[in-house]
Amino acid sequence: MMIDLLALAVAFPLLGAVVVTATPSHARGLGLASAVLTTLTSLVLSLGVWRDGSVRSDFGGWGAPLGIGLQADGLSVAMLVMSNLVALAVSVYAGSYFSATARRHFWPLWLLLWSALNGLFLATDLFNLYVTLELLGLSAAALGALSGTRAAVAANLRYLLVGLLGSMTYLMGVALLYSRYGMLDIGLLAEVIEPGLVAWTAMALMFSGLFLKAALFPMHFWLPPAHANAPAPVSAALSALVVKAAFYLVLRLWLDLFDPVLNASVANVLGLLGAGAVIWGSWRALRAERLKLLAAYSTVAQMGYLFIAFPLLVATPPGLARDNLLAAVVLLAMTHGFAKAGFFLAAGLVQKTAGHDRINELGGAAQALPAATFAIGLAGVALIGLPPSGTFLAKWIMIEQAMIQGLWWWVVVIMLGTLLAAAYIFRVLGHAFNREPTPYRFVNDARTEIPALLLAFISAFVLGLIAQPLWTLLDQGVLG
Amino acid sequence: MSELLLLFDLLLTVTLLVLATAAIMSREPRRAVILYIAFGLLLALVWARLRAPDLALAEAAIGAGLSGALMLAAARRATAAKRQHASQPGTKGETS
Amino acid sequence: MITQFLYGGSGILLFLLGTWSFIVHPPLIRKLIAINVMGAGVFHTLVALAYRGLTAPADPVPHALVLTGIVVAVSATALALAFGQRLDRDHGSSADDD
Amino acid sequence: MTPAWAKVLIPIVLIAIGAVLVWAFSLAALEGGDRLALIALERVPESGVSNPITSVLLNFRAYDTLLEVAVLLTALLGIWSLGPAAPAFQPASPILGGMIAWVVPLLILSTGYMLWAGGHAPGGAFQAGALLGAAGVTLALGGDASAGLPGETRLRFLSVLGVLVFTAVGVILMALGYGFLTYPEGYAKWLIIFIETAATLSIGVTLAAAYLGGEPRDERTSRSAT
């Protein structure tokens, strides 16, 4: 008897999707069971990596250049834990969110998306990554259109097409690398890749495809309508996880493969685009009329911070400071995952109760839905970056490092983004609290409110205060 | 012999590119799809010449055949809708 | 070698033609044809690179990648067309959105 | 929609990108070796099948193919989630009907051949599945509102069969101690045929159902008429 947790992290959601598709009448129960099983697998896998270091598994017994394998190191496990916890919360929430007809469509697609996410975080092969990207893109677009409104279908069709454009561009880059080096395994490629036109062009192709999928400014145009019009649990997954997966891939390829190819100017371009995203996204979030649109633009902005880290990473010489910076980026991505998922879940509750999500007409939401409003507030703490959230710690490290390196303009951008974030969060809370308190119960619908609250709570308190394990985790593979 | 093969290659390539351009430039959905199917079939032929018979089969059956059939059905619906649209007074047919 | 250059070059050309058409032509069916031509370009390049002359067997790995790519492309095309059909049904006009 | 400056700029940018691409690919082809080609071709005899592409697809890189079958399933589930299908085609004329009666069995027969041949000659699960799907499309073109597909329960089962068998084989092999999708010596051929048969059925059914569009409903005909 042998248990390969890496394979099971992908196989369980796949099998779950199969079972749920075949027996749609039991979709919710079986879907939740698969969700729990998948999360447990990922957590046990992560615990193993945290204790004993990175693990790799080669499928088919062929080994690296010929076969494909999966690998879990600190970076992938950090994303895996975040994604699976968020996905579990989304699953619990979705269990009572969808109607009986929508449920039979939601669960199989959702589990397929989950297996794509786990497969992506654990992949080691450039072409295998292309397949997971397509699986992710197709399932995400189909899920986003589940709300069935014309706006949702049109926005997610555009998302699907843009995603295809991105993956084709990525694939062209893979073809180029294969034609030069004759292999697809990231680890083996990293040993032989040398700076030059071929590597540079391949990187440009692959990164531009991924930027499209990560909605990096100014390629973010597809994101706000697609995320704002999807059903709330799907919006949460799209904003917290799916765009994050594209960012993870950029970071992974950057660190593991293209490190010798890169120079400061590429990083500065990324940082500049990130800065554009922070300012433009925050500004649009401030002006948004609907709660979910605000959250979607806030995602554009928050993705920007992650890309601002690249010029800082390049400027910092290897050592403790760079390790800290890297951990800060991962912490930022994780915190945003929890916070944005919690925010969207709570916003979905507000929308369902009030019948709309226009911010100016939210008056009294705090009284009718105290738990949801509290969740939005907590998530807001993390989105702004107030202490003790993980965002605060991460931004602090980024700002400190930028000052040390004399790159003060990035500090200005981060501060400006923080101020704008504070403005758009308080705008929401201001509208939610503008009526006399009437005694209502704090929790009205436990199955939907508790997941939102928990996610928001983790983002605001837990991640910032117990960030130390993350440093230990990232020592496994990426930093070491 | 090799010159003849090269001539054949050149001819295939030029035809392939011309068909692709024609499919892309055609405004009328149905014609565009039919040109695309022709392009896919020729691509299958080229791949057979490049010693990829498995891919030639797959491209002919899936790339040109099924994709083509799917798009053709969509184009047929689009044309029908357009005709219906144009016959109704007061609505504009789309001119893109 | 010259065969590889000829076909590989035409693959790149197809990729660019597809990209251009995808950007400038709004109707859904034209975007899908564009994406498929783009994909055909990538696949064609891979097939050309796998070719190792009339006597040696071709590299099977790119061939397997292309086969996977073809199936993924038809899946995406089918899904996108279903999206378009849904929009038509709601609106009663053709799929010329965005 | 496209502004005038973009109409000029986009082609210029794309031509520049094209020039870089051609240059990079030429460099890559000149400097590049064919290491993986040699390794792959050398180890084909160990894979249980003699068609190198089938070896790569179902043995060396079987995990890729598993996810690819999952992509196909995703597309079908997405299509189903978008609601009822477009109106079916008119019933075919007697002449066309007669032709369909000939073509469909022929397509199904060649599906079987293609599947069997894939081990040693050009062909395999995907080509075979495509032919099976084409049989369904032909029936649909002839006016068969169900494209020859079974009712909802069986349709759902057939559409997931490929992913189910593929993943189950992988997990069972893992549990037995061989490793995920690691075929034990001597069994590779039969396991590959088993997986390919399931995948062919799924691919065929999925492609036909995708062509038909719309949710699977036993009362499909009454729904699409409204």
Contact partners, residue D225, CB within 8 Å, separation at least 6: D87
Q: What is the DSSP letter of A389?
A: S
Note whether residue B27 is domain-resident: yes
Question: How far from each other are the two terminal CA atoms of chain B, in whole angstroms?
Answer: 49
Cβ C60–D25 below 8 Å, yes or no?
no
Give the type of residue at D13.
Answer: V
In this structure, is residue B13 part of a structural domain?
yes
Is there a domain that residue B83 lies in?
no
Tokens (6 digits) for A452: 């939102």
The one-character DSSP state at A358 is B
- Given an 8 Å threshold on Cβ–Cβ distance, is A112 in contact with D68? no
Please say whether the beta carbons of A327 and A470 come within 8 A. yes
DSSP letter at A317 equals: P
Could you tell me if residue C28 is inside a domain?
yes
Where does the pLDDT of residue B32 fall: very low under 50, low under 70, confident under 90, or very high at 90 and above? very high
Return d(Cα B50, Cα D97) in angstroms, integer: 38
Distances (CA, A) of D133 to A235, D130, D139, D165: 34, 5, 10, 19
Gap between the Cα atoms of A2 and A10, Å rounded: 16
In a domain, C97, yes or no: no
Examine residue B89 and state whether it is found in any structural domain, yes or no: no
pLDDT band at A236 (very low <50, low <70, confident <90, very high): very high
Asked if pLDDT for residue A150 goes beyond 80, the answer is yes
Convert the pLDDT of each residue in A333-376 to its tens digit: 999 999 999 999 999 988 888 888 888 887 777 677 888 888 99
Crossing angle for the helix pair C60-91 and C28-50, nearest 10 degrees?
180
What pLDDT digit, counting tens, does each position of A420-471 carry?
999 999 988 888 776 555 555 666 677 778 888 888 888 888 887 777 778 8
d(CA B82, CA B88): 10
Q: Which residues share a beta bridge with A71?
A: A56
Q: Do C98 and A158 touch (CB under 8 A)?
A: yes
Nearest to D133 by CA among B88, A67, B69, A65: B69
CA distance C18 to D135: 30
Beta-carbon separation of D81 and A135 below 8 A = no
Chain A residues inside the 8 Å CB shell of D83:
148
Whether the CB-CB separation of A440 and A370 falls below 8 Å is answered with yes
Q: Is the pLDDT of residue D89 over 80?
A: no
Report chain B's C-alpha Rg in angstroms. Answer: 18
Count how many domains chain B has: 1
pLDDT of B94: 40
pLDDT at D129 over 90: yes
pLDDT reported for residue C93: 43
As given in the structure block, the two tokens for residue A258 are: 């293209």
Q: How many helices (H) and strands (E) does chain B have?
A: 4, 0
Question: Do residues C4 and B7 lie in contact, with contact meaning Cβ atoms separated by under 8 Å?
Answer: no
When scoring D14, D25, D27 by the number of chain C Cβ atoms within 10 A, the one with the most, hence best to mutate, is D25
Interatomic CA distance for residues A77 and D25, integer angstroms: 35
- Residue B69 and residue C40: Cα distance in Å, rounded? 17
Residue A204 to residue A220: CA distance in whole angstroms = 18
- Residue A413 distance to chain D (closest CA, Å): 30
The ipTM assigned to this model is 0.93
> Which region holds residue A7: left if phi is over 0, alpha if psi is between -120 and 50, else beta?
alpha
Is pLDDT of D219 > 50?
no
Helices marked H in A4-125 = 5-22, 27-52, 74-97, 100-122
Q: Summarize the confidence of residues D167-188 as an average pLDDT.
A: 93
Residues pairing with A57 in the sheet = A70
Q: Pick the closest to residue A26 from A104, A137, A117 (CA basis).
A: A104
A296-335: pLDDT as tens digits: 999 999 999 999 999 999 888 888 888 889 999 999 999 9
Rounded Cα distance, C56 and A238, in Å: 47
The upper half-sphere exposure of residue A280, i.e. CA atoms within 13 Å in the direction of its Cβ, equals 17
Angstrom distance (rounded) from CA A162 to CA D1: 17
Q: What is the pLDDT of residues B47-77, one digit of tens each?
A: 999 999 999 999 999 989 999 999 998 888 8
Q: Which domain holds residue D210?
A: 48-225
- Percent of chain A at pLDDT exceeding 70: 96
Compute the count of residue pairs across chains C and D with CB atoms less than 8 Å apart: 112
The three-state secondary structure class of D173 is: helix
The shortest CB-CB distance from A18 to any of D23, D33, D160 is to D160
Q: How far is CA C76 from the centre of its chain?
A: 11
Cβ separation B52–C63 shorter than 8 A: yes
| pLDDT per position as a tens digit, A184-223 | 999 999 999 988 899 999 999 999 999 999 999 889 999 9
Q: Which domain holds residue C47?
A: 2-91
CB contact under 8 A, A65 and D21: no
Which residue, A316, A198, A209, is CA-closest to A264?
A316
Q: Where are the alpha helices (DSSP H) in A215-290?
A: 223-229, 232-237, 243-256, 264-287
Of B54, B58, B69, which has the smallest distance from its Cβ to D211's Cβ?
B69
Among D71, D160, C80, C61, smallest CA distance to A119 is for: D71
Cα gap A187→A177, rounded to integer Å:
13
Region A88-110: mean pLDDT is 92
Structural domain of B19: 2-78
Distance, in Å, from the CA atom of D124 to the CA atom of D127, rounded to the nearest integer, reads 6
Chain D from 182 to 211: CB within 8 A of any C CB: 203, 207, 210-211
Does any domain span residue B90?
A: no
Q: Which of A286, A290, A308, A306 is nearest to A298 (CA)?
A: A286
Q: How distant, in Å, are the alpha carbons of C28, C33, C35, D7 from that of C20?
A: 15, 12, 10, 10
Task: Tell me the C-alpha to C-alpha distance, in Å, between residue A329 and each of A190, A302, A442, D197.
Answer: 22, 11, 35, 46
* Alpha-carbon gap, residue A121 to A116, rounded angstroms: 9
For the residues C39-52, what does the mean pLDDT come to? 93
Report which residue type is found at A42.
Answer: S
SS3 (DSSP) at A83: helix
CA D8 to mean position of chain CA atoms: 39
Q: Is residue A106 a contact partner of residue A144, using CB atoms and an 8 Å limit? A: no
Spatial CB neighbours of D106, under 8 Å, sequence gap ≥ 6? none
**Domain count along chain D:** 1
Length of chain A: 480
Residues of B in contact with C13 (CB under 8 A): 17
Asked whether residue D38 is assigned to any structural domain, the reply reads: no
Residue of D nearest to B72 (CA): D211
User: Which domain CATH number covers C20?
Assistant: 1.10.287.3510
- Residue among A315, A216, A304 nearest A264 (CA): A315
CB atoms A142 and D77 under 8 Å? yes
DSSP H helices, A98-196, are 100-122, 126-144, 150-181, 186-192
Which candidate in C21, C32, C43, C75 is best for mutational testing of the D interface (most D CBs within 10 A)? C75
Q: Please give the average per-residue pLDDT across D15-25, as a whole number.
A: 91
- Tell me if chain C has a CB within 8 Å of the CB of A175: yes
Predicted confidence at residue D57, as pLDDT, reads: 93
pLDDT digits (tens, 9 = 90+) for C55-98: 888 899 999 999 999 999 999 999 999 999 999 887 654 444 33
Confirm or reject contact between C98 and chain A (CB < 8 A): yes
Give the pair of three-digit tokens for residue A370: 């105290």
Question: Mean of the pLDDT values across residues D54-63?
Answer: 94
| Distance (Å, whole) CA B95 – CA A295 | 36
Helix (H, G, I), strand (E, B) or coil at A56: strand
Mean pLDDT of A104-113: 96
The crossing angle, in degrees rounded to 10, of helices A320-354 and A291-315 is: 180
What's the one-letter identity of residue C50? A
CA C7 to chain centre: 15
CA dihedral A173, A178, A181, A183 (to 10 degrees): 120
HEC string of chain B equals CHHHHHHHHHHHHHHHHHHHHHHHHCCCHHHHHHHHHHHHHHHHHHHHHCCCHHHHHHHHHHHHHHHHHHHHHHHHHHHHHHHHHHHCCCCCCCCC
To 10 degrees, what angle do helices A27-52 and A5-22 make? 180
- Identify whether B84 is part of a domain: no
D78 touches chain B (CB under 8 A): no
Q: What is the dihedral of CA A284, A285, A289, A291, to 10 degrees?
A: 150
Parse chain A into domains and list their residue ranges.
263-480
Rounded alpha-carbon distances, angstroms, from residue A318 to A74, A187, A321, C52, D99: 18, 20, 7, 43, 72
In a domain, D220, yes or no: yes
Between helix B67-87 and helix C60-91 the angle, nearest 10°, is 20
Is residue C52 domain-resident?
yes
Residue A26 exposure: Cα atoms within 13 Å on the Cβ side: 11
